[in-house]
Amino acid sequence: MFADPKLMTAEAFIGPQNSLWQLRHCKFPVIAAVAGPCITGGFELALNCDFIIASRSAFFQDTHARYGIVPGGGMASVLPRSIGLHAAKWTSMVCQRIPAERAHMLGLVAEVRTSSISLPLFDTVVARALPFATSALC
């Protein structure tokens, strides 16, 4: 896609054909499970999920500034709403690494797991959420 400038239109990045847009507008909850480094594009992907569960070894980092590029996946608008404007500026401008525990304290991560992140974990999350859901699962 990026090799052909004719395909690099605003429409390619905005709206239903964009995968991150689809995540944000999904009809059921989307859980990001982060078990290690979650950097730049992966960080943007996780930010577009409904919530993030991370292992203790996970960390988050925005490296767009290091390469002089502007975030295109919503990080510039979603990160400040997730952790606050000043923390987001600091994180992005200095490419600050955020360990899982700190991300949890900032409200970015819903839960930090000491054990591994696996499918049984998601069964537990679904079991906890199911009584409150009316049509969340398909």
Contact call for residues 129 and 136 (beta carbons, < 8 A): yes
Per-residue pLDDT averaged across 16-29, rounded? 76
Q: Domain count for the chain, please give it.
A: 1
Q: Flag whether 90 is in a domain.
A: yes
In the predicted model, what is the mean pLDDT of the chain?
A: 82
Q: Flag whether 53 is in a domain.
A: yes
Tokens of 79: 């990160």
- Full residue range of the structural domain in which residue 70 is found: 17-117
Q: Flag whether 29 is in a domain.
A: yes
Q: Flag whether 103 is in a domain.
A: yes
Q: How many CB atoms lie within 10 A of CB 54?
A: 27
Q: How many CB atoms lie within 10 A of CB 64?
A: 20
Per-residue pLDDT tens digits for 44-96 = 999 999 889 999 999 999 999 999 888 877 788 889 999 999 999 999 999 99
Q: Flag whether 78 is in a domain.
A: yes
The gap from C-alpha 58 to its chain's centroid, in whole angstroms, comes to 13
Q: Flag whether 57 is in a domain.
A: yes
What's the CATH code of the domain at 57?
3.90.226.10
Q: Flag whether 5 is in a domain.
A: no
Q: Flag whether 138 is in a domain.
A: no
Contact call for residues 92 and 75 (beta carbons, < 8 A): yes
